[in-house]
Structure 1
Amino acid sequence: MNRSIEDIIRKALEEDIQTGDLTTRATIPNDVSAEGKFLVKADGIIAGLEIAEKVFRIFDEKIAFNKNLIDGSFVKKGTIAAIVLGRAASLLTAERTALNFLQRMSGIATLTNAFQQRINHTKAKILDTRKTVPGLRELDKLAVKIGGGKNHRFGLFDMFLIKDNHIAVAGSITKAVQACIEYRNKKNSALLIEVETTNLEQVQEALNANADIIMLDNFQVDMMKEAVKLVNGKCKLEASGGITLETVKQIAETGVDYISSGALTHSVKALDISLEISILKSTR
Structure 2
Amino acid sequence: MRVAFCLYKYFPFGGLQRDFMRIAQTVAARGHQVRVYTQSWEGECPDNFELIRVPVKSRTNHGRNAEYYAWVQHHLRDHPVDRVVGFNKMPGLDVYYAADVCYAEKVAQEKGFFYRLTSRYRHYAAFERATFEHGKPTQLLMLTNKQIADFQKHYQTEAERFHILPPGIYPDRKYSQQIPNSRQIYRQKNGISEQQKLLLQVGSDFTRKGVDRSIEALASLPESLRQNTVLYVVGQDKPKKFAALAERSGVGTNVHFFSGRNDIAELMAAADLLLHPAYQEA
TM-score relative to the length of structure 2: 0.28
Higher relative contact order (CA 8 A, sep 6+): 1
